[in-house]
Chains A and B, each alone.
Chain A
Amino acid sequence: MTQNLQIELTGVDKHYGGFHALKDINLSIPNGSFVALVGPSGCGKSTLLRSIAGLESITGGVMKITDEVVNDMPPRRRDVAMVFQSYALYPHMKVIDNLTYSLRLKKTPKAQARKMAEEVAATIGLETLLDRYPRELSGGQRQRVAMGRAIVRRPKVFLFDEPLSNLDASLRVHMRKEIRALHDRLGATSVYVTHDQIEAMTMADHVVVLRAGVIEQQGAPLDLYDRPASKFVAGFIGSPAMNFIPGRTNGDGTSVDLALDGQPTLRLGRPAAANQDVIVGLRPEHLSMASTGDNNFAVRVGVIESTGSTTYVGAGDRNDITVVLSDRRNISVGDRVQLAIDPDKVHLFDPITEAAL
């Protein structure tokens, strides 16, 4: 009945000696979906991926792949393929032998294995490199071989462990699209680990944000962006990061006073508890520079970084309020400017629990 669930984790725990790496992880990954595990380094995302692969054993909970409990199943029997951050190509084998390695282990006839590898090589642009050794390939080509080695097996699940982090920026953007296109074509389930929230947002159907071994929030990429459950998720998802300004709601909870010069007041889209200390979250791209109008506050411009298409302005007493402008403005350092925001786009967080209010 849960046939459309490819991977199911229930209460998964992982201890390394005294260190609690994964805490009560509950995660359901539907067949054919693309799930990104994202979080800062040390949050447990790679550990979770390696646990799914079977390279790490879990200390508690139940892990199922297509309805089968795999807690104690060795990696080779799980029918999952993994693309490593280091690529982990077999350096003593040519590209073609790297691609056919798994097939040869399964005793696939030689000619058939070669044919399968050549088909895969053609789809990812490796056909001219089959007789080279990994050391003779560029970083991007090695990355493709690593992908090809996973694809040729036609596994139930693809696991990606930060596969793009060793590539330069432009190739990374290109491979991002290519991996997503490949996923759509093959229709297999993919689990993708990254510390780069942009990769997670652009590639995945479902994003899981991890922090210190706990799932902080999971959902569709834009849900996380629009409705972050905590200050951590709000700050992690979105680039540049959300601005956080301390504040206090007023007597009827319909507006908030910011702890800035002159105690400016912002109206709220929906009422909050009255007379409460809060942290106000404002996304840089939601702030606009308006000389008039309502719901605005004045700040001093400290830094201006222009990239041509976009201008990043650092404002406030410590230049810690970032504003993203998509048009060019005639402003200079030292100016006082008015920043306006739509009341519906003001986020409030509890200063102690950091939960969204």
Chain B
Amino acid sequence: MRRIKSSIVDGVGFDLLLVGIPLVFLILFSGLPLLYNVLMSFQEVDLFSLGDVFRPFVGLDNYRALLAQPEFWPIMWNTVIFVTCSIGGQFLLGFALAVFFNTGFRGSTFIRGLFLVSWVMPGLVVGATWNWILAGDFGVLNYILDSLGLISKNIFWRSDIDYSLWAVVITNIWLGTAFNMILLSVGLAGIPKDLYEAASLDGATAFQQFWTITVPMMRSTTGAVICLGLIFTLQQFDLFAAITSGGPANSSNVAQYWAWELSFRQYDFARGAAISTIMIAFVMIASVFYVRSTRHEVRG
């Protein structure tokens, strides 16, 4: 006992303790539910067997049933559009803002801090706010587009099947841009200033410096930000609940929202779990890239 105690106070035991506490937490609250979800996707689940762990095994039947549903592929395609456009928009805007604030003008750090407000707000609140902006009759977005002469009649963003998904994408870009900007700002701040000075003496214009110094030096940060963006975007649920509820006619439905609908609206827990399992696979792939990109950081 004394040896264990002294190991925790002085030696390797302390390291194990530090690793152990989060590990136990992760296994208990993330690992086990995740495994339970995967297990459930191969079982026949009904309301009477909800409390059981071991239920009739049905193999890939749940997956087959999902694929057979006519909305499966449209919803998957929506998910792809939602994820790529959200990440693309968040990253490009975030990068532009990060470069802008990195010029270090007076008050830049303060204003950059204010941008984080969007990231701090709950998704449901953001959704409710954007419902007003997106409103077809009196929304500010339509007013601006109309004033600029870009549209001739109001767009009903939330109820038009051609626009409903884009309503959520626009809101999600607004929500995630600040987070991208902060991570990218950290990366930009890590690029030594003298590299730009050396490049300017070597004859590089500001544009050439951006492409030959900034972009390659930001590669690992970019990889990390995009991988994290993929994970967060696949988790984005609140905005769908607040803005379109996946409708109309599944036109803005995505995998994560559909999984919730199946499980907690239709009480088809097996199919909900099957979709979640498919998403776990994608997130795992993203995680591998994330871990790799943080490991391959370029150091001076």
Contacts and interface: CB of A to CB of B under 8 A. Distances in A.
Contacts of B213: 90
A70 to B, nearest CB: 13
A344 B205 CA distance: 57
A336 to B, nearest CB: 55
Given A55-B197, A84-B197, A86-B194, A91 B299 contact: yes
Given A91-B298, A91-B299, A74 B194 contact: no
A102 B300 CA distance: 19
A88 interface: yes
Given A88-B197, A91-B300, A101-B212, A149 B202 contact: yes
Contact of B216 (A84, A86, A92, A102): A92
Interface stretch (A75-83, A117-125, A247-255, A324-332): A75-83
A185 interface: no
B210 to A, nearest CB: 13
Interface SS, B side: helix
A274 to B, nearest CB: 56
B195 A90 contact: yes
Interface string A111-137: 000000000000000000000001100
B299 A135 contact: yes
B116 interface: no
A352 interface: no
Contact of A91 (B201, B204, B208, B217): B217
B199 interface: yes
Contact of A92 (B200, B203, B208, B217): B217
Contacts of A88: 192, 194-195, 197-198
A82 B202 CA distance: 9
A161 to B, nearest CB: 9
A153 interface: yes
B300 A135 contact: yes
Interface in A153-203: 153
Nearest to A83: B198
Kindly name the residue among A54, A55, A149 whose own CB sees the greatest number of chain B CB atoms within 10 A.
A55
Contacts, number: 67
B217 A75 contact: no
Contacts of B216: 92
A55 B200 contact: yes
Contacts of A134: 300
Nearest to A133: B298
Given A86-B194, A92-B217, A153 B202 contact: yes
B202 A102 contact: yes
A75 B197 contact: yes
Bin chain B's interface residue count. Answer: 20 to 34
Contacts of B203: 76, 102, 105-106
A10 B248 CA distance: 75
Interface string A50-76: 000111000000000000000000111
Interface in B168-222: 192, 194-195, 197-205, 208, 212-213, 216-217, 219
Contacts of B197: 53, 55, 75, 82, 84, 88
Nearest to B195: A88
B57 to A, nearest CB: 52
Interface in A131-150: 134-135, 149
Contacts of A149: 198, 202
A84 B300 contact: no
A84 B205 contact: no
Contacts of B202: 76, 81, 101-102, 105, 149, 153
A134 B299 CA distance: 9
Contacts of A81: 201-202
Among B202, B217, B299: residue with most chain A CB under 10 A: B202
A105 B192 contact: no
Interface string A86-102: 10111110000000011
B211 to A, nearest CB: 11
A303 B299 CA distance: 47
Given A88-B197, A88-B198, A91-B217, A76 B298 contact: no
Interface in B202-254: 202-205, 208, 212-213, 216-217, 219
B294 to A, nearest CB: 16
Nearest to B217: A92
Contact of B205 (A76, A89, A91): A76
A105 B195 contact: no
Contacts of A92: 216-217, 219, 298
A174 B219 CA distance: 38
Contacts of A101: 199, 202, 204, 212
A268 to B, nearest CB: 50
* Centre residue among B194, B208, B213, B298 by max chain A CB count within 10 A: B194
20 contacts: A53-B197, A54-B200, A55-B197, A75-B197, A75-B201, A76-B202, A76-B205, A78-B201, A82-B201, A84-B197, A88-B198, A91-B195, A91-B300, A101-B199, A101-B204, A102-B203, A105-B204, A134-B300, A135-B300, A149-B198
Interface of A: 53-55, 74-76, 78, 80-82, 84, 86, 88-92, 101-102, 105-106, 134-135, 149, 153
Query: What 9 pairs across the A-B complex have the smallest Cβ distances?
Result: A102-B202, A88-B194, A88-B198, A91-B300, A75-B200, A76-B203, A92-B216, A105-B203, A75-B201
Interface of B: 192, 194-195, 197-205, 208, 212-213, 216-217, 219, 298-300
Given A81-B201, A88-B195, A101-B202, 5 more contacts: A82-B197, A84-B198, A86-B192, A91-B298, A102-B202
